[in-house]
Amino acid sequence: MWQDALLNMAACSSAGRVLSLCRRFQNVLRISSATNIQRSAVNVTKYHCQLYRETSPLVSPFWSSPTSTASQCRGLHTTISRRGLEEFFDLPENWGEANVKSGAPWTAKQLRTKSNEDLHKLWYVLLKEKNMLLTLEQESKRQRLQMPSPERLRKVERSMFRLETVVTERETALRLLQTGQEKGRPGAWRRNLFGYIYWYRFKEYAIPWYMNKRYKRKTFYTPHFVQPHMRLRLEKHLRDKTRKANSEKQKLAKLKEKFPLMKVPAS
């Protein structure tokens, strides 16, 4: 069923490279079934990514993680990249080109279909791509030439941001199920010196709080003489709000006068 979906999607795509790409991924990557995030977090030593570079990592391939093979291995398996510092540069064919083609960035919807191991690997692929683009940008500034296709950098940044949101979503869900806590780092709602209430995030100390001189100097309460200032602040805020609302109404009234058949925008 997976293979059929794969082939259908490959047939629809423009390049036949995508099909070979999918096949290569299926052969090389043995991805275990979706596991606990904490347990699947692998020591970075084992990870050597980037098997090949014919297609940019931005071309979101239509491969989906196949079900685990007979070996049922937990660890990540990838080929070791034999090019060391060369990975900071693009393929030699693209040197000197005015435009380098690249695909669309990864969307959060696409990333949510991937397993944790896939996302982990993709992060490093995107990281290396971003490093390469940054070196290219700096060198182009140095040589006073235009960087070919600078939009690639923004695409990679967006993909990485979305990847991180997806991973944090999964982590919070897991944490809620396991512990009932939503946030990983403990905190509390506290009032600061100026009367603002904010989420104070706890910091890890080696000694308890009553022995911590620097912590005891912090004030998590508002002294009574700050109350008039808070009141004035509140009044200012309310005044600004009403003024803004009034100006909007006046604007609409004027427009209605000039254009009686105008439709009032719903906002």
Residue 215 binds another protein, judged by CB under 8 A: no
Query: Can you tell me the distance from the alpha carbon of 139 to that of 126, in angstroms, rounded to the nearest whole number?
Result: 20
Residue 120 binds another protein, judged by CB under 8 A: yes
Residue 200 binds another protein, judged by CB under 8 A: no
> Do residues 65 and 31 make contact, with C-beta atoms less than 8 angstroms apart?
yes
Is the Cβ of residue 10 or residue 133 nearer to another protein in the bound state? 133
> Do residues 200 and 187 make contact, with C-beta atoms less than 8 angstroms apart?
yes
Residue 208 binds another protein, judged by CB under 8 A: no
- Residue 187 φ/ψ, nearest 5 degrees: -160, 180
Query: Can you tell me the distance from the alpha carbon of 66 to that of 6, in angstroms, rounded to the nearest whole number?
Result: 10
Residue 263 binds another protein, judged by CB under 8 A: no
Which of 9, 51, 59, 167 binds another protein (CB under 8 A)? It is 167
Residue 206 binds another protein, judged by CB under 8 A: yes
Query: Can you tell me the distance from the alpha carbon of 49 to that of 28, in angstroms, rounded to the nearest whole number?
Result: 11
Mark the segment that binds another protein (CB under 8 A) among 107-115, 166-174, 192-200, 215-223. Answer: 166-174
Mark the segment that binds another protein (CB under 8 A) among 19-27, 200-208, 211-219, 245-253. Answer: 200-208
- Residue 199 φ/ψ, nearest 5 degrees: -85, 105
Which of 142, 213, 214, 217 binds another protein (CB under 8 A)? It is 142
> Do residues 39 and 115 make contact, with C-beta atoms less than 8 angstroms apart?
no
Q: Encoding tokens for residue 10?
A: 């490959």
Site string for another protein, 146-165 (x = CB under 8 A): -----------------xx-
Number of residues in contact with another protein, rule: CB under 8 A? Answer: 50
Mark the segment that binds another protein (CB under 8 A) among 56-64, 76-84, 229-237, 258-266. Answer: 76-84
Minimum distance of another protein from residue 92's CB (angstroms):
8
Q: For the stretch 234-265, what's the b/e string if a residue is b when 16 or more beta carbons lie within 10 angstroms of its beta carbon?
A: eeeeeeeeeeeeeeeeeeeeeeeeeeeeeeee
DSSP letter, residue 185? S
* Cα-to-chain-centroid distance, residue 216: 37
Q: Please give the residue ranges that form the binding site for another protein (CB under 8 A).
A: 37-38, 41, 43-45, 47-49, 80-81, 84-85, 87-90, 95-98, 120, 123-124, 127-128, 130-131, 134-140, 142-143, 145, 163-164, 167-168, 171, 184-185, 201, 203-206
